[in-house]
Amino acid sequence: MISAYTGTQVREAEQPLLATGLGAVLMQRASHGLATAVVRELRARGQRLYGARVAVLAGKGNNGGDGLFAASFLAARGMRTTAVLTADSAHPEALAAFERAGGRVHWLTEATLNQLTAETASADVVIDAVLGTGAKGGLRGTAAALVDALSGGRLPLVVACDVPSGVDADTGEVHAPVLPAALTVTFGAAKAGLLADPGADHAGRVEVIPIGIEGHLPWPALHRLEATDLARLLPQPRRRSHKYSRGVLGVVAGSVTYPGAAVLACRGALAAGVGMVRYLGPPEVAQLVRQSCPEVVCATGSVADTHVQAWLVGSGMGPEDHDQLQRARDAVDSGLPTVADAGALPGLPLILAPQVVLTPHAGELASLLQRLDADHSLSLRSAVEANTLGAVRHAAGLTEATVLLKGATTLVASPFQDFYSQADGTPWLASAGSGDVLAGIIGALLAQLGSDVGRFRDAGIDPDERWAAIAALAASLHGRAGAAASAGGPLTAGRVADSLPEVWGKVSMLS
């Protein structure tokens, strides 16, 4: 499991070592790790090291010092190094080391802007070391003009030092302009802002360099499940399991207008290993579900008369579907684990419970927050997309439910303030019906794992936080299934469900 921390947490973890005079040691570890990562990345791209051109954009603080020390190590490997100093001063020891290594130094001014933009753009590698984790706001003045000009053309390999300048390490908010990195080399621990959109858009691949502060870190701000975590958490039938012991999921989804949503939700649930699916809904939709998924038991009855371990409600429902909306409310009121998607979201009570998993996209979350929050600070889709981590945290706190925000990076927040970030998918998953399949996967896992407290305790997860972990597990499976179904090309939601059992099998072999 990847653990990520805010920049504030990491800086506080450094303090005991800084107090004992180890600041220079930490900087040397960080800069050496940065230089090694640059070498490794160049080799992976087939780039010759000797004579390669390196430009480091260095601010005046410790981030700039890390970049300058790293460039001095690269100069010792025979690379041609140039430092573009973006402020009126630079880290003195790092600058002296850089000059001793033979690096060329240029001060960025309005007079030198065009020349240094051209020189930087022609480098093989650009190290972004202007702003670090403690910076507030983004680049200004000539530094902003330089990055803005570079971003408008063909970029060389960009490696960010700790965080891309302008990305908030705590929240992932972006203060433009930001130089998009192919690789971010971050120190001590992954930063939460690198694993949340929109910061993740600019971070590229994230590599963590240990520097010796790890034993001083607190509880993580964010988790990311990896394949081995999935293998530990995935349910497996026992020799004497039967369909009821493997979990029964009730599905209230679909409408005359959107009947396919019910089919896709049921297909996602069946592919995710649930023992039985019971569908409640309009006869026309039930008939389509029977034809597409003959395994599903269909009825037109009530929630109270349907015996299940968990519910899925809302996919493909609209405000005119009064009977379905009442079933959705009844499912939530039952106290059973429930995933509430799409059309159910506007009709649910404002205060819920942790075992209710809400699955909005950014627009739906903005609408939900408008209902909940009087100041409406996140009531626009653009505001949610600009601060996804803050928005999902706020929604979980206000609703007391578990909230999964769908997107390129899927974020999950529990009302107890545990967070997960998963980015296992492909952009091709942005297609109609994909969210219905995800809802089915979440529902199936709620039915199978909701009562298995010991499994989460054994995996080091607080049982009270298992609802968020289940949602993150489902998001990871969904993303991996989408990537497998796509193989780099277009896909349909049905193919995501079809590819899930094979992905499940491969992941399970890691346990």
Tokens for 304?
A: 């109270």
The mean pLDDT value for 303-316 works out to 97
Residues 6+ apart with CB under 8 A from 474: 272, 438, 441, 442, 445
Structure confidence by residue, pLDDT tens digits, 190-245:
999 999 999 999 999 999 999 999 999 999 999 999 999 999 999 999 999 899 98
pLDDT band at 136 (very low <50, low <70, confident <90, very high): confident
Distances in whole angstroms, Cα of residue 313 to Cα of each of 284, 320, 472, 506: 18, 15, 18, 30
| Distance, CA of 60 to CA of 90 (rounded, Å) | 4
| Distance, CA of 415 to CA of 396 (rounded, Å) | 5
DSSP classification of residue 167 = B
Whether pLDDT at 378 is above 90: no
Whether pLDDT at 142 is above 70: yes
Tokens for 155?
A: 């970029």
Per-state percent for the chain, helix, strand, coil, to nearest 5: 45, 15, 40
Q: Taking the alpha carbons of 200, 205, 209, 214 in that order, is the dihedral positive or negative?
A: positive
Q: What angle do CA 482, 472, 406 make, to 5 degrees?
A: 60
What pLDDT score was predicted for residue 417? 85
Whether pLDDT at 373 is above 80: no
Q: Residue 472: what residue type?
A: A
Whether pLDDT at 3 is above 90: yes
| Longest alpha-carbon distance in the chain | 80
What integer best gives the mean pLDDT of the chain? 96
Q: Residue 258: what residue type?
A: Y
pLDDT band at 409 (very low <50, low <70, confident <90, very high): very high
Name the percent of the chain lying above pLDDT 70. Answer: 100
The mean pLDDT value for 371-390 works out to 86
What pLDDT score was predicted for residue 379? 78
Host H or E run for residue 55: strand 53-58
| Distance, CA of 393 to CA of 405 (rounded, Å) | 10
The mean pLDDT value for 60-82 works out to 97
| Distance, CA of 295 to CA of 268 (rounded, Å) | 13
| Distance, CA of 377 to CA of 69 (rounded, Å) | 42
Residues 6+ apart with CB under 8 A from 149: 113, 117
Q: Please say whether the beta carbons of 59 and 164 come within 8 A.
A: no
What pLDDT score was predicted for residue 374? 62
The reported pTM is: 0.95
The mean pLDDT value for 170-197 works out to 97
Q: What is the distance, to the nearest Å, from the Cα of residue 499 to the centroid of all Cα atoms in its chain? A: 22
Exposed e or buried b per residue across 36-73, where buried means at least 16 C-beta atoms within 10 angstroms of its C-beta: bbbbebbeeeeeeeeebbbbbbbbebbbbbbbbbbbbb
The mean pLDDT value for 274-292 works out to 97
What pLDDT score was predicted for residue 471? 98
Structure confidence by residue, pLDDT tens digits, 251-260:
999 999 999 9
Whether the link from the prior residue into 16 is cis, omega within 30° of 0, is no
What pLDDT score was predicted for residue 439? 98
Q: Please say whether the beta carbons of 74 and 38 come within 8 A.
A: yes
What pLDDT score was predicted for residue 245? 87
What pLDDT score was predicted for residue 39? 98
pLDDT band at 153 (very low <50, low <70, confident <90, very high): confident
What pLDDT score was predicted for residue 180? 96
Whether pLDDT at 381 is above 90: yes
- The string of DSSP letters for 169-233 reads TTT--B-S-----SEEEEESSEEGGGSSTTHHHHH-EEEEE--S-GGG--S-SEEE--HHHHHHH
Query: Burial level of 106, CB count in 10 A (0-12/13-18/19+)?
Result: middle
The mean pLDDT value for 368-382 works out to 82
Whether the link from the prior residue into 177 is cis, omega within 30° of 0, is yes
Structure confidence by residue, pLDDT tens digits, 262-273:
999 999 999 999
Whether pLDDT at 123 is above 70: yes
Whether pLDDT at 442 is above 90: yes
Tokens for 321?
A: 């579907």
The mean pLDDT value for 66-70 works out to 98
pLDDT band at 375 (very low <50, low <70, confident <90, very high): low
Q: Select the more confidently predicted residue: 253 or 378.
A: 253
Structure confidence by residue, pLDDT tens digits, 70-80:
999 999 999 99
Q: What angle do CA 46, 51, 53 make, to 5 degrees?
A: 85
Q: Which domains does the chain have, with CATH numbers?
A: 2-222 (3.40.50.10260), 240-508 (3.40.1190.20)
